């Protein structure tokens, strides 16, 4: 088993190394790729040093079984044929191919089998907010078809990368030290603030991030589900939160919902309001599952259910999900 990480120097690339180590992923050889700026850097993994190779249009991917790619959409588009031409399975973290009909969009807990049919040898990793949402929706969908979802996201700085996390930390320091606040990665100061915009606005008034949640959820779940999202950036370093309202075809009781979530794949139920036990990003950062709490009947809709979820955007929302796709393919002998 020969694997590669493309974009190893970024936040998700570094998380790939940690996740592969934590899960003791089975491989015999590892190759690291990066931009011209990253080429020549060394990273230590499992006691061995690896030097980053510059990503080029050549035959460097010959013999590589799986490439975990997190180098941005433009790089994914430019190098996809180079990466896949010798049979490498490209698991791509960008949004470049997610809605292409001949590219499966996969969350293993929800639609792992889709990864087996990949005409272009590309599998797309969904958007972080979508991954978290569909993992939570799957157990409910199995009880009764979900007609519509309203979701408000509370997205950490980690969703915008390592430099964005640094910017948030620096903004807090700048405020404390009475220094000018530097804003580069976000549209406004994030420290002591929330920004009701993630990504750019589209013609219908929704942002691209919000429309990703609409389209990607329907594709992953093979469903006519209607999704309306409001995506908000909050001054949290790591781990996204989502407040979700679902409307199902048939009423679902609290007992049914709690049982479904407690048995759901990739889910930890943390729902004891009387003891103030519910998921929070402070405690979920660095963890693998999607945590769910604050489950309640929607008092405005007899077929409605409301709940709160938190998940680490860099782990389950990116690197971990991609590695789980690879694990699924290995387990199913589907490489």
> What gap in Å lies between CA 319 and CA 238, rounded to an integer?
14
Closest by Cα among 241, 201, 209, 240 to 227 = 209
Concatenate the DSSP letters of all residues of 254-308 into one string. HHHHHHHHHHSTTEEE--BGGGTB---HHHHTT--SEEEEEEEE-TT-TTEEEEE
Residue 184 zone, left/alpha/beta (φ > 0; ψ -120 to 50; rest): alpha
Per the document, the length of the chain is 335
Please check whether residue 289 is in contact with residue 316, taking contact to mean a CB–CB distance below 8 angstroms. yes
Question: Three-class SS of residue 41?
Answer: coil
CA separation for the pair 309, 316 (Å, rounded):
13
Which residue, among 161, 159, 6, has the nearest Cα to 68 in the 3D structure?
6
Residue 201 CA to chain centroid, in angstroms?
21
Give me the active site residues, please.
Answer: 128, 240
* Cβ neighbourhood burial of 180 (10 Å; 0-12, 13-18, 19+): exposed
Residue 112 DSSP symbol: G
Sign of CA dihedral 195, 196, 198, 200: negative
């Amino acid at each position: 088993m020969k694997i590669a990480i493309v974009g190893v120097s970024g936040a998700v690339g570094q998380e790939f190394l940690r996740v592969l180590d934590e899960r003791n992923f089975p491989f015999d050889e590892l190759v690291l790729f990066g931009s011209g700026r990253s080429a020549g850097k060394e990273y230590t993994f499992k006691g061995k040093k690896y030097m980053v190779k510059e990503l080029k249009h050549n035959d460097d991917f010959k013999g590589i079984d799986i490439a975990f790619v997190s180098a941005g959409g433009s790089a994914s588009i430019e190098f996809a044929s180079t990466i896949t031409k010798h049979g490498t399975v490209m698991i791509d973290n960008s949004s470049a191919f997610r809605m292409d009909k001949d590219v499966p969009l996969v969350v293993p807990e929800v639609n792992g089998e889709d990864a087996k049919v990949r005409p272009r040898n590309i599998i797309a990793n969904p958007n972080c907010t979508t991954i978290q949402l569909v993992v939570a929706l799957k157990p409910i969908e199995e009880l009764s078809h979900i007609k519509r979802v309203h979701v408000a996201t509370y997205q950490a700085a980690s969703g915008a990368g390592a430099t964005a996390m640094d910017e948030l930390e620096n903004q807090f320091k700048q405020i404390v030290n009475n220094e000018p606040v530097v804003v580069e990665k976000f549209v406004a100061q994030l420290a002591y603030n929330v920004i009701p915009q993630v990504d750019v606005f589209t013609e219908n008034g929704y942002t691209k991030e919000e429309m990703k949640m609409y389209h990607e959820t329907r594709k992953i779940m093979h469903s006519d589900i209607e999704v309306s999202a409001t995506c908000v950036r909050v001054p949290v370093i790591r781990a996204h939160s989502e407040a979700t309202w679902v409307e199902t075809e048939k009423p679902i009781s609290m007992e049914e919902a709690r049982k479904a979530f407690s048995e759901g794949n990739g889910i930890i139920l943390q729902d004891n309001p009387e003891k103030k036990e519910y998921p929070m990003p402070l405690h979920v950062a660095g963890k693998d599952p999607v945590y769910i709490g604050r489950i309640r009947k929607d008092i405005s809709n007899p077929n409605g259910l409301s709940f709160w979820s938190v998940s680490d955007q860099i782990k389950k929302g990116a690197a971990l999900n991609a590695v789980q796709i690879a694990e699924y393919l290995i387990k199913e002998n589907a490489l």
